[in-house]
């Protein structure tokens, strides 16, 4: 199933543009809806749990199915998997934009997540298989920038679109024609490849991993609204048991000569394990910040959706500038600057809590958050630099899964904390407490990054 490198050809530019725009649409949908939650609540009369499911439901399914989406590409071809996922994503985005009720919108978001999970892993795999040398480095830099920067841009763009006065549905409907055009272009440009036929889907691994994730996330999302029932605590305890069962299943599959859902050889590659830790805790701060900021800025501060989105533009710009500048730094500085980013981000989150009154101080603190976490662009490249091309799909699925789980956990935990505190003391007090929690997560990510950058890993031949 090898594909020929297309470095230096016109096709390589078109290929990269198509798959990165598809990736951008999928990442955009993680948070573009955040800024619309107050409007959706008013229009569809959604409960707090309903709003959290609208935001997190997409990411739950996305996170659960990413590794399986990578395996589908292995089996049936990366081109077919990408285009199939893009088609499902586009159709369900239209369904979300036309949703007449909260239940309909939640269902559409879940199916959107399934389409994104089919499409997204193929992007990194296609880059790893079609680009080499300096071209791969540039492509990986853009991949990391889009996948991380799209999170912030989604929040700001949502506010801009709502500011046009067309209602919350525009945040979905505007993406439909883009998806359709991308699908038509992809059918002509993406290189044909055959399914490998060498791997299975590892159904028991899929079932056990999906169960472990759902048993953890669902009670986190719904627990506050339901008064933290006993079943929720039991569910979270069972998630730990189920995860250990997943690990045993994967070992059993490996011992029988099969291909597990998560191959241990991928996790043993230098940089993968600290990279996974960073991409769990760092994105958790993003998810929490973007969810709580929309509720605070449009709630306590009474900003319009447009003003709320524009307040995050400095954050997006700073993130993008750091992400673009990092590959141009001298090699001796690139790795050490990753922990420095989290040293900047952690106190910046605290500053956001202290600047909860909004205005220029809030914008400055959000810019510092973006600048600090802009180093995440480097993390993925460092984590995968020693992963063999044979395991490209496994690595992409694992990294993307952890990133999305981090966001779900951030929304579920810090988001729940924010909503609970805001009911009794207002969102200013809730913002301060939640900012402390986000700073703590950033510190953990920074400590994990020390293990990633402590020694120089020699480049693969």
Per-residue pLDDT tens over the stretch 275-320: 888 989 988 898 888 878 877 887 778 777 667 767 777 887 888 7
Same domain as 189, residue 91? yes
Would 322 be classed as within a structural domain? yes
More confident residue, 168 or 155: 168
Same domain as 321, residue 301? yes
Would 313 be classed as within a structural domain? yes
Examine the pLDDT at 439 and tell me if it is beyond 90: yes
CB 352 within 8 A of CB 372: no
305 φ/ψ angles, rounded to the nearest 5 degrees = -55, -40
Same domain as 318, residue 413? yes
Would 458 be classed as within a structural domain? no
Which range of 152-166, 195-209, 401-415 scores highest in mean pLDDT? It is 401-415
Residue 224 pLDDT class (50, 70, 90 cuts): low
Examine the pLDDT at 114 and tell me if it is beyond 80: yes
More confident residue, 121 or 428: 121
Would 3 be classed as within a structural domain? no
Examine the pLDDT at 461 and tell me if it is beyond 50: no
pTM here is 0.75
Q: Where is the domain boundary, 223, 258, 293?
A: 258
Total number of domains constituting the chain: 2
C-alpha 332: how far from its chain's center? 29
Q: Which helix (H) or strand (E) holds 85?
A: helix 78-97
Would 327 be classed as within a structural domain? yes
pLDDT of res. 1 = 41
CA distance 438 to 300: 20
Examine the pLDDT at 48 and tell me if it is beyond 90: no
Same domain as 182, residue 210? no
Q: Name every residue whose Cβ is closer than 8 Å to that of residue 304 and which is 6 or more positions away in sequence.
A: 162, 163, 298
Q: What percentage of the chain reaches a pLDDT higher than 90?
A: 20
pLDDT of res. 281 = 92
pLDDT of res. 107 = 93
pLDDT of res. 436 = 92
Same domain as 208, residue 75? no
* Residue 153 structural domain: 10-202+259-453
More confident residue, 227 or 123: 123
pLDDT of res. 368 = 92
CA count, 13 A, side-chain hemisphere, 219: 18
C-alpha 85: how far from its chain's center? 16
């Amino acid at each position: 199933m090898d594909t020929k490198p297309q470095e230096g050809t016109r096709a390589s530019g078109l290929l990269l543009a198509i798959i990165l725009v598809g990736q951008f649409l999928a990442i955009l949908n993680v948070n573009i809806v955040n800024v619309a939650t107050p409007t959706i609540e008013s229009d569809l009369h959604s409960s707090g749990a309903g709003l959290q499911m609208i935001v997190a439901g997409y990411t739950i399914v996305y996170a659960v199915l990413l590794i399986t989406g990578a395996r589908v590409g292995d089996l049936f071809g990366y081109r077919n998997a990408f285009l199939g996922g893009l088609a499902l994503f586009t159709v369900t985005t239209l369904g979300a934009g036309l949703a007449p009720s909260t239940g309909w919108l939640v269902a559409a978001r879940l199916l959107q997540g399934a389409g994104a999970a089919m499409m997204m892993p193929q992007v990194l795999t296609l880059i790893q298989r079609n680009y080499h040398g300096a071209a791969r480095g540039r492509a990986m830099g853009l991949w990391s920038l889009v996948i991380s920067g799209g999170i912030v841009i989604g929040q700001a763009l949502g506010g801009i679109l709502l500011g046009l006065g067309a209602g919350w549905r525009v945040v979905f409907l505007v993406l439909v024609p883009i998806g359709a055009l991308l699908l038509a272009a992809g059918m002509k440009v993406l290189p044909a490849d055959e399914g490998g036929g060498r791997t299975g889907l590892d159904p028991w691994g899929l079932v056990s991993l999906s169960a472990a994730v759902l048993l953890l996330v669902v009670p986190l999302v719904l627990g506050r609204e339901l008064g933290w029932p006993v079943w929720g605590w039991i569910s979270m305890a069972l998630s730990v048991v189920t995860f250990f069962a997943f690990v045993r299943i994967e070992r059993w599959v490996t011992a029988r000569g099969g291909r597990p859902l998560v191959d241990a050889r991928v996790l043993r590659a230098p940089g993968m394990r600290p990279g996974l830790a960073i991409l769990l805790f760092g994105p958790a701060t993003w998810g929490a910040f973007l969810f709580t900021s929309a509720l605070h800025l449009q709630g306590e501060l009474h900003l319009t959706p447009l003003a709320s989105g524009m307040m995050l533009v400095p954050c997006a710009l700073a993130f993008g500038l750091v992400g673009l500048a990092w590959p141009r730094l001298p090699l001796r500085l690139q790795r050490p600057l990753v922990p420095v980013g989290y040293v900047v981000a952690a106190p910046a989150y605290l500053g956001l809590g202290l600047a909860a009154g909004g205005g220029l101080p809030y914008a400055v603190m959000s810019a510092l958050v973006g600048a600090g976490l802009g180093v995440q662009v480097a993390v993925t490249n460092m984590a995968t630099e020693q992963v063999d091309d044979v395991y490209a799909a496994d690595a992409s699925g694992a990294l993307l899964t952890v990133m999305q789980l981090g966001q779900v956990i951030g929304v579920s935990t810090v988001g729940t904390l924010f909503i609970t505190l805001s009911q009794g003391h207002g969102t200013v007090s809730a913002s301060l407490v939640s900012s402390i929690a986000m700073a703590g997560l950033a510190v953990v990510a920074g400590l994990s990054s020390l293990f990633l950058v402590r020694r120089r890993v020699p480049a693969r031949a």
